[in-house]
Structure 1
Amino acid sequence: MSRQVARSAQGLILAIDLGTTNVKVLLVDPATGRVLRRASVPVDVYRPQPLWVEQDGSQLWDAVVRASAEALRDISASSVAGVAISNQREAVAAWNDDGDLLGPILGWQDARTADWCGAPERGDLGELTVAVAGLPLDPMFSAPKLAWLLDSLPSSASPRIGTLDTWLVHRLTGEYVAEAGNASRTLLLDLASLDYSDELLDAFAIPRGLLAPVVASDAGFGRTRPGLPIPAGVPVVAVLADSHAALYRHGAGRPGEGKATYGTGSSVMAPVAGGLPPAPTGSRGVARTVAWVTEHPVYALEGNVVATGAAIDAVASLLTSGDVLELARLAEQASPDSGLAFVPAFTGLGAPWFDRNAVPILVGLGGGVSREQVALAAFEAVAHQVTDVVDAVDAVAPGSLSLIHADGGATASRLLMQLQADLIGRPVQVSSAAEASALGAAQLAATTLDLDVAPPEEGRRVVPDESQSWTSPSRERWRTAVARSRGLAVNQNHQGES
């Protein structure tokens, strides 16, 4: 996995962030760290059936084109040294040689394959995916969705299939490759060899020949084709999955410094020193993943929470007609502990439980409960879920999350960040830039091109309030609520499964 990109002495980086609810494009000056232009185009998420989550590929591509055109308006073509991509992970698509999709994109939240993954006869496959790919057998990851897509296509079709990094690169340059970090989220990659596992390909009935070959994160991904708002011939230099790009932005994998991204869902990721960590016992807890591959692979431990920003949005739709800022103002008026426990298991629970049979519940609701308490419970639900993952990482690799960098839109809530620091009992370094994923990809691209790269600007640091006594009873209430959400027995002292 070697670099294939010509060096550049100076220039700007166009960073494309292919997200779940919007496509952002930033024009970045790496020498100063300044974002010279930013453009964002919203995209829709469709839920045609329970557990199904889809997106329209033509809408995503149109958003890429429109946002790129806006970010490059009146910019000299010669000033753009390279393109960087960060993308939502685990979402999959099938397309033809022209890049046109052969059906909907199945989003990372899509859980239509939950019954298949959870069937008792899949037990051995679940052990295999943990041992080889580092991931539990869960519908969030790509392989079950890819198998579903293939089954839905006509037998005469000869599609290209893969994750959205592969599709977007193919649309931009015509190259057909899969970036290693994204490939590690498919349930098909052998973490040790950094190639697809024949045993896993057979288990999911996915022909190797349909998949793009795996390449390094800075391998070079071709040059932009004519007819785009991006000047023709600009190299696509670096590709990173969005959570991995955020980790790269926050210290490029310094030991002890992990990150939590607060988006529709959340990713908590901790870099691991010393190469590939051994497979844990059991299939639950945290996953092993490839963070990125440059001169050598960097591995990480990670836990994915399915609904964090989605939890806040859901409660906002009930209490404030969808106004998240108003919901935050309501929550700030409540006492430090809501006395409630809201488990937003809309499509089950992700890490560390990976229980797709869990259901959403609100525990503690009574006649005297206020709107302010319910609003606070939504923010507490986010902080509790992230804390569950931090606890799971601590159990596997103590000390790997001494400091947590936080990024994503929800970090603008000072209430949420204080709740988070209090519950995990360690500092939270809040990113000064909301676009950590795009900036991380831009940073890798600039480094690959040997451009000058300014160090990331540090944001505010939130430290735990040691005078607070609400955290222990709140955690106990949360664990009980999670156990009830999962249909587990709870004893008379309300002690849930920990």
Structure 2
Amino acid sequence: MSNAKTPTTHQAIIAIDQGTTSSRAILFNQHGEQLHSYQQEFTQHFPQSGWVEHDPQDILNTSLIATKTVMEYAQANSIEVLAVGITNQRETTLVWHKETGEPVYNAIVWQDRRTSAFCAENQEYAECITAKTGLLLDPYFSASKIAWILNNVEGARAQADYGELIFGTVDTFLIWHLTAGKVHATDTTNASRTNLFNIHTLDWDSELLEWYDIPAKMLPEVKESADDYGMTSTTALPLNVPIAGVAGDQQAALFGQCCFTPGGFKATYGTGCFALLNTGTEPQKSNHQMLTTVGYTLHGETYYALEGSIFTAGANIQWLRDGIKVIKSASATKALAESLEYDHGVVLVPGFAGLGAPHWEADARAAIYGMSRGTTEAHFARAALEAVCYQTYDLLTAMSADSVSAEAVWVDGGMVGNDWLCQFLADMLQVAVLRPKTMESTALGVMYLAGLQVGWYKDTQSLQQYKVVDKKFTPQLDDTTRSMLLTRWQKAVAATLAFI
């Protein structure tokens, strides 16, 4: 999949965006405009119920093909590529041979739940893990996945003890291969998602490594988000350029949305929703089951964030379209939602994959309340959209109680092309919802980081001038109606949790 437009500059930076279902490369000019992009999907593997894997070669090959395609476009149009940035699906875990680069096992994807029993059996350590890492003891994160590989792949434990195997999240795996094995490194944002990184000392934690039984020699060097990650090897890519910016996808989106000060809040609405709130230069402990994570590290200073996740957002709409087939297309939901009044009475609690923050209830299941003989596809569509906004309200309320209030909400992702959704979101959150002109916030963020490293940009303040708002949505709903809707939502959630 490729698209292009006439270049407006003779210099550019390539952002590699390695995602869960596809790998993309985007060529950006200094104004953050896309000059060219290429995307390639790859196969998902589900060897057992709850297991999700990727072939590491698929991750590498699709990333290389996308990047080479974009680099060739740059060369053909006399555009100088100044640097490469990498953003990636987080927590996905790879272990490979230090000398050959050969993986010992498939990549275990962030969605994989094979270590659920291990995590459940060891919850007495959860408080210590949260205190050090800001995370929960959960299969979602990398550490239990590494331990599973070492304990279940024949010979892996012995090879790791001998120093023959190394670990990395997807960014590290790509950096290692792009530099022909010269650089084994990650950044603070990706390190902070492993359950092995102490977010207070900003280093791998020896106590956690011992507890998970993971040799320290397996781990990559931890660098800043804008830093020197080596040069691309001419054998891997046609241009010998610096890899200069690295960040996990959600933190890259936070940076791409220019949320550089405490109170900066972004929400990305894809299959699920990830919301991050910049809390400043000190990690904030959550009392509401939010995750505390590194937002980014720049010029020796680390900014932290609180993170909340909604497991299904766009997936709610996919279920309406593909599962129960009450709508023909996602775009139809806007008109259907607009056809109803606020008191339509139907509530969807989308626990299709459990409920995320602030509940973290894996055993919850979806439920619909308030149906009658008059319920139609419009009620389903509106309830599905409303649920996303209610859940975002729950996240933002919890984060505000833990730390600082959001000054506005920057949104991105496929769902926010729907004006009705954005307006309802503003009405529920009672803050302005800002939709940027450039929606590729994840790739844009890592491009900005690479640009700062190579001197294309002076500082974060200089990036603000490139921020263009496509549309601003301000709260309009009266307090009585809003309160009624939120009360109804909270009752529905309580009933759903009680049903478990």
> When the two structures are superposed, what TM-score results if normalisation uses the length of structure 1?
0.88
**Is this contact kept in 2: 1:292–1:298, CA < 8 A?**
yes
Aligned in 2, Cα 1:470/1:44: closer, same or farther, shift over 3 Å? farther
- Whether the 8 Å CA contact 1:431–1:460 is kept in 2: the answer is yes
Shift of 1:343: 2.4
Give unmatched runs, 5+ long, in structure 1. 1-9, 490-498
Partners of 1:177 and 1:38 in 2: CA distance: 26
- The correspondence for 2:483, drawn from 472, 477, 480, is 472
145-154 vs 238-247, which moves further: 145-154
Alignment partner, residue 436 of structure 1: 441
Shift of residue 320, structure 1, vs aligned partner: 5.3
Q: Out of 264, 286, 294, which is 1:257 matched to?
A: 264
Residues 203-242 of structure 1: per-residue CA shift (max 9 Å, x gap): 22222121212111122111111233x4242111110111
Q: Which residue of 1 aligns with 2:249?
A: 242
Alignment check: 8 A CA contact 2:263 2:404 kept: no
The count of residues paired between Structure 1 and Structure 2 equals 473
Give CA-to-partner distance per residue, 1:409-433, whole Å, 9 cap, x none.
2111112211211111111111211
Give 1:183's aligned residue.
191
Does 2:201 correspond to 1:199? no
Quote the Cα distance in structure 2 between the aligned partners of 1:301 and 1:287: 6
Letter in 2 for 1:226: T
Give the Å deviation of 1:166.
1.0
Offset of 1:445 from its aligned partner?
0.9
Question: CA-atom RMSD, angstroms?
Answer: 2.4
- Work out whether residues 348 and 384 of structure 2, in 8 Å CA contact, stay in contact via their aligned partners in 1: yes
Q: What is the Cα deviation at residue 486 of structure 1?
A: 2.8
AA of the residue aligned to 1:92: T
SS of alignment partner, residue 459 of structure 1: strand
CA gap of 1:55–1:418, structure 2 versus 1, over 3 A, is farther
Kept in 1, the 8 Å contact 2:293–2:304? The answer is yes
Which digits, 9 at most, give the CA deviation of each residue in 1:1-52, with x for residues without a partner? xxxxxxxxx831011111123222110111x332111222233444444333
Higher relative contact order (CA 8 A, sep 6+): 1
Q: Is the 8 A contact 1:262 1:411 kept in 2?
A: yes
Deviates more, 1:243-252 or 1:421-430: 243-252
In structure 1, the partner of 2:429 is 424
Aligned to 2:59: 60
Give 1:256's aligned amino acid: G
| Aligned residue number for residue 168 of structure 2 | 162
Mapped contact 2:284–2:306 kept (Cα < 8 A): no
Give the structure-2-normalised TM-score: 0.88
Quick one: structure 1 residues 474 and 112, their matched pair in 2 at CA, closer, same or farther if it must change by over 3 Å?
A: farther
The equivalent residue for 2:86 is: 85
Change (3 A) 1:488 1:416: same
Q: Secondary structure at the match of 1:139?
A: coil
SS in 1 for 2:86: strand
Query: Structure 1 220/483 Cα, relative in aligned 2: closer, same or farther at 3 Å?
Result: same
Q: Deviations over 1:432-452 (max 9, x none)?
A: 112101011101111111114
| Residue aligned with 1:319, SS | coil
1:293-321 CA-partner distances (Å, limit 9, x unpaired): 12111111111222222222222212257
Matches of 1:238 and 1:105, distance apart in 2: 23
Following superposition, the deviation at residue 257 of structure 1 comes to: 2.0
Write the distance in 1 (CA, Å) between the matches of 2:119 and 2:203.
23
The correspondence for 1:302, drawn from 307, 320, 324, is 307
Residue type at the aligned position of 1:475: L
Does the 8 Å CA contact 2:284/2:403 hold for their aligned counterparts? no
Aligned partner of 1:128 in structure 2 is 128
| Cα 1:133/1:43, change in 2 over 3 Å | same
Where do 1:244-323 residues align within 5 Å?
Answer: 244-273=251-280, 275-281=281-287, 284-295=288-299, 296-317=301-322, 318-319=324-325, 323=329
1:250-292 Cα offsets, whole Å, 9 max, x none, are 224123221111122222111123x2234345xx421211111
Cα distance change on mapping 1:43 and 1:425 into 2, 3 Å: farther
Q: 1:378, CA displacement in angstroms?
A: 1.5
Q: How does 1:38-77 map to 2 (within 5 A)?
A: 38-76=37-75
The reply on whether 1:408 has 2:413 as its aligned counterpart is: yes
**Partner Cα distance (1:410, 1:169) in 2:** 31
Q: Who is 1:171 aligned against?
A: 177
After TM superposition, give the deviation of residue 139 of structure 1 in Å.
2.2
Distance 2:186 2:13 in 1: 21
Structure 2 distance, partners of 1:395, 1:294, is 27
In structure 2, C-alpha distance between the alignment counterparts of 1:117 and 1:322, rounded to whole Å: 40
Matched to 1:33, the amino acid is G
Q: Which residue of 2 aligns with 1:224?
A: 232
**Counterpart Cα distance in 2 of 1:322 and 1:213:** 49
Q: Distance in 2 between matches of 1:265 and 1:384?
A: 14
Q: Is residue 13 of structure 1 aligned with residue 13 of structure 2?
A: yes
Q: Tell me the distance in 1 between the aligned counterparts of 2:29 and 2:481.
A: 45
Q: State the distance in 2 between where 1:337 and 1:227 align.
A: 62
How far has the Cα of 1:322 moved from its partner? Answer: 6.9
- C-alpha displacement of 1:328: 4.2
Aligned residue number for residue 389 of structure 1: 395
CA distance in structure 2 between the aligned counterparts of 1:106 and 1:361, rounded to whole angstroms:
30
Q: Percent identity?
A: 31
| Distance in structure 2 (CA, Å) of the matches to 1:324 and 1:84 | 32
Equivalents in 2 of 1:345, 1:115: separation in Å? 21
Letter in 2 for 1:85: I
| 1:103-150 deviation line (CA, Å, top 9, x unaligned) | 33222222232333233xx33311012211011222222222222232
State the one-letter code of the partner of 1:179.
D
Distance 1:368 1:417 in 2: 27
1:110 corresponds to which residue?
A: 112
* 1:216–1:473 Cα change, 3 Å: same
Secondary structure of the residue that 1:73 maps to in structure 2?
A: helix
Distance 2:479 2:62 in 1: 45
8 A contact 2:436–2:467 mirrored in 1? no
Indicate the SS of the match to 1:324.
Answer: coil
Aligned 1:207-222 pairs, distance under 5 A: 207-222=215-230
Match of 1:493 in 2: none
Rounded Cα–Cα distance in structure 2 between residues aligned with 1:427 and 1:142: 35
Specify which of 362, 368, 383 is matched with residue 368 of structure 2: 362
Q: Residue 236 and residue 152 in structure 1: after superposition, are their counterparts in 2 closer, same or farther (change >3 A)?
A: same
Residues 359-411 of structure 1 deviation map (CA, whole Å, 9 limit, x = unaligned): 22223334331111111122122212221110110111142x12111111211
